[in-house]
Structure 1
Amino acid sequence: MTVEIIILAMVAAFLGLRLYSVLGKRTGHEQEPLTRGMDTPAVKRPASIERPQLDDKPAPLTPGTSTVFDIAAEPGIRQILASDRTFDVGRFREGSKAAYAMILEAFWSGDREQLRTLCDDEVYQSFADSIDQRTARGETLENRLVRIDEARIVDAEYEAPMARITVRFDADIAAVVRGPDGELVAGSLTDAVETHDLWTFARDLRSNDPNWILVETDQA
């Protein structure tokens, strides 16, 4: 029993390190990440991602009582609201969760076209380099986003015309890496791994495009 626990702990640590190697840095030539899985249904891919699109009537901010954002993010959110009265912080948070799922799924499947539409050039290149390295090794990922436990805005800033919002994602991911012949290299779809990521999304508030793109990733 003790040996089994040690082995599971080693696998979880290995998966966490490989996931952070890609998602935990803004740029670089990292290895690809792994996600954790379980028998829980995976998050469904939405038909479209209006990376936080907005309502015409944004919800009012109540200082110190929000369950959507940290107090530290409030000044930046107010600046964004002052420049874009259609901005809705709750709607943004929900859109960021959809973006998180879509970007992870696109990376795991090697969908460069999807990544190109959701990330800026620097982040896209980091993902693309990791996909190339994975392909060269003949490896494939069988990862699954089990659930997003929490998505919370931890920082926001506005330097005209660009708005930037950082979201902390606490999620459970099932991750499996298979080799060239389909052999198991690492991971398990029955044991989810906890991940804690900080993703920053940006948007030019002068643009008619309501979509936000991923411009930076880090580990929480």
Structure 2
Amino acid sequence: MIIQIVILAVIAAFLGMKLYSVLGKRHEGEEESIPKRFEEQRRDAAQARPALAPARQLPQEMPGVLPAVESGVRSIAAADRQFDITAFLEGAKGAYGMILEAFWTGDRETLRELCDEDVYAGFDAAIAAREEAGETLDNTLVRIEDAKIDAASLVDRTARIRVRFVSDIAAVTRDRDGNVVAGSLDDAIESVDVWTFKRDVRSEDPDWLLDETDQG
């Protein structure tokens, strides 16, 4: 009987040590894995979170911007993290050439894409009158001599920037028979245009629309 009790005690002690060993290892493993798991979750969350684009730092001196309107340009840059003054001016010059060419050739589709409704309506009416008269324009933008921002503002979500373009344009008007009725391709004339572009600074669409046209 005593022998049986001893054997049972040994077995119980062995099982107890085995159970402690298993539980002890699991507990230690959990203590090591919890911070590691949280660290991995934080790392994964950081990788999944979209990073905000840093606001572009405008230079102290901005070529192409009149000093009186620098504050307006800076307010637009503060509201629109993607705004870049150099890229805007290059884009404005490109739009200037494209819109002039579209107007001269009667390309209404391009004008509709690049202009707001009021400006497009004005271009469309002028094209219609020209078509009715049977006249065509044979114009060429020789060069853009200068492009400067002379006004900039931000009202609510809408940014407006006015650009003064000085360009040389060779202009010819022909009648329905192709005869020149005005202008000359041999002599380029200096043209001064003041165009205002607008954009919703919260829009995902990066394009600016021509909002107003005038002559300087």
TM-score when scaled to structure 2? 0.73
Pairing 1:101–2:128 present: no
CA 164–184 in structure 1, closer or farther in 2 if over 3 Å, else same = same
1:58-69 equivalence runs, <5 A: 58=56, 60-62=58-60, 65-69=61-65
More relative contact order, 1 or 2 (CA 8 Å, 6+ apart)? 1
Percent of aligned pairs sharing the same letter? 53
Are positions 1:209 and 2:199 aligned together?
Answer: no
Alpha-carbon distance between aligned partners in 2 of 1:82 and 1:181, rounded to the nearest angstrom: 54
Matched, 1:172 2:168: yes
C-alpha contact (below 8 Å) 1:119/1:214 kept by paired residues: yes
Query: Equivalent residue of 1:191, what SS?
Result: coil
Shift of 1:208: 0.2
Q: Distance in 2 between matches of 1:158 and 1:59?
A: 18
* Equivalent position amino acid for 1:189 in 2: L
Q: Distance in 2 between matches of 1:130 and 1:209?
A: 29
- Alpha-carbon contact 1:58-1:89 (below 8 Å) kept: no
Give the aligned residue type for 1:133.
Answer: A
In 1: Cα distance, 2:183 partner to 2:167 partner: 16
Offset of residue 165 of structure 1? 0.2
Q: Distance in 2 between matches of 1:66 and 1:165?
A: 14
Q: Map of 1:13-52 to 2, 5 A cutoff? A: none
Q: CA deviation at 1:68?
A: 1.5
CA offsets 1:168-195 (integer angstroms, 9 cap, x no match)? 0000000000001111101111100000
Q: 1:1-220 to 2 correspondence within 5 Å? A: 58=56, 60-62=58-60, 65-220=61-216
Q: Distance in 2 between matches of 1:56 and 1:181?
A: 58
**In structure 2, what residue type is equivalent to 1:115?**
L
Give me the whole-angstrom Cα distance separating, in 2, the residues matched to 1:85 and 1:57: 5
Residues 146 and 169 from structure 1, CA distance in 2 versus in 1: closer, same or farther, beyond 3 angstroms? same
Aligned 8 A contact 1:59 1:89 in 2: no
- Name the CA distance, whole Å, in 1 between partners of 2:149 and 2:59: 13
| CA 1:112–1:161: 2 relative to 1, 3 Å | same
Equivalent-residue separation in structure 2 for 1:86 and 1:113 (angstroms): 27
**What is the deviation of 1:160?**
1.6
**Distance in 1 separating the partners of 2:88 and 2:195:** 13
Misfit runs of 4+, over 3 Å: 55-59
Q: CA deviation at 1:60?
A: 2.2
Alpha-carbon deviation of 1:83?
A: 0.5
Higher helix share: 2
SS where residue 196 of structure 1 aligns? strand
Secondary structure at 1:82's aligned position in 2?
A: helix
Aligned in 2, Cα 1:56/1:93: closer, same or farther, shift over 3 Å? farther
Whole-Å separation in 2 of the counterparts to 1:66 and 1:219: 24
Structure 1: give runs of 5+ residues left out of the alignment. 1-54
Gaps of 5+ in 2: 1-52
Greater displacement, 162-171 / 72-81: 72-81
Provide the TM-score with structure 1 as the length reference: 0.72
Equivalent-residue separation in structure 2 for 1:57 and 1:82 (angstroms): 7
1:59 Cα shift? 5.0
